[in-house]
Amino acid sequence: METAVDITLLQGLIITLESVSILFLFIFVCLFFKVYNTRRSIFLLGMPFGFFFLLLSSFFLDIHLIALIFQNVSPFSSSIMWVRVVTQTIGFVLVVFSYLFAGRFQNTTKRSYLIILSGMVALIFGAFIILFLANPSGLASVYSINEIFAMINIALLSYVLLFLVRKLQLTKNKGTDLIIAPIAFLALWLGQFSFLVFSFAGGGNLALVGSQIARVVGLALFIQLYYQASKETSNYAPEQTKQS
C-alpha cells in the first residue's frame, strides 16, 4: 500500500519530468517560429501552434499536481485537469492538420503569431476561470474519462506515424530528418499508450513514469530533428551556390 510520502515523491518526479517537457517544448516552439519567419506555410505554422498547446497542457499538469500536494481533488484541480486534457488533444489535432494540409496550402497570413498566441492563452485561461467559478456538476468526471482523451491522442498520433512511414517509403533519399521524425512521434505515442496502461492497470506507477519519460525523449528528438535539418540545409546551400 502506498504511503503519503510515496505519493508525494511520485508527484514530485512527475512534476520534474513535466518541467523538462515544458522546457523542451518552449525551445522547440521558439525554433519553429524562427523558421516560420523566413518560410511561411501551413505546416510551419501548425506545428509550433500544436506544440504550444502541448506546452500549455504540460504547464497545467504541473499546476494540477502542485495543487494536489497541498490539498485533495477540488474544483480548482478539476478545472485545471479539464484544461490540461483538452489543450493536449487540441495540440495533437493541430499537428495532424499541419501534416494533412501541408501539401495543399503553402502561403499563410502575415499577421503576427504573437497576437494569435496571446489570444489563445487568454481564451484558455478564460475557460479555466469560467469552469472554476461555475463549478458545474460532474466537473470531477475528467478523472474517469481521461482515458478517452488518451485514446483520441493515440488515434491522432497513429495518423501522423502512418503519414510519415508512407512518406519514408516513397522517398528515395531517406535523410536523417525523415527517420528521426517517426521515432519522435512514436515516443509520444508510447507516452499516451503507457498512460492508458497506467489507467487500466489500476495505478501502475512504472507505466505512469514511463509515459512521462517517453514524452521527454520524444521532445528531445524533435529538437535534434530541427538541428539536424538545419545542418543538412546549411550544408546543401553552399553546394547549390557553387553549382550556380
Look-up: residue for cell 514511463? 210
**H-run or E-run covering 106:** none
- Report, as an integer, the average pLDDT of 102-125: 70
The region of weakest confidence among 11-20, 175-184, 211-220 is: 175-184
Q: How confident is the model at residue 91 (pLDDT cuts 50, 70, 90)?
A: very high
How far CA 202 is from CA of 85, 144, 152, 198, 205, in Å, comes to 19, 12, 20, 6, 9
Q: How confident is the model at residue 238 (pLDDT cuts 50, 70, 90)?
A: very low
What pLDDT, in 10s, does the model give residues 173-201? 555 566 888 999 999 999 999 999 988 87
pLDDT at 101: 75
Q: How many CB atoms lie within 10 A of CB 120?
A: 17
> 189 versus 203: which is more confidently predicted?
189
pLDDT at 188: 95
This prediction's pTM = 0.84
Q: What is the DSSP letter of 141?
A: G
Q: What percent of the chain has pLDDT over 70?
A: 77
Q: How confident is the model at residue 236 (pLDDT cuts 50, 70, 90)?
A: very low
Nearest CA to 227 out of 186, 176, 163, 179 is that of 176
Query: CA 200, CA 194: separation in Å to the nearest integer?
Result: 10
Q: How many CB atoms lie within 10 A of CB 160?
A: 22
- Report, as an integer, the average pLDDT of 197-212: 83
Q: Does domain 4-237 have CATH number 1.20.1070?
A: yes
- Number of DSSP helices (H) and strands (E) in the chain, helices first: 7, 0
Look-up: residue for cell 494569435? 116
49 pLDDT more than 70: yes
- Report, as an integer, the average pLDDT of 102-130: 73
pLDDT at 34: 73
Query: CA 169, CA 178: separation in Å to the nearest integer?
Result: 10
Query: CA 180, CA 72: separation in Å to the nearest integer?
Result: 41
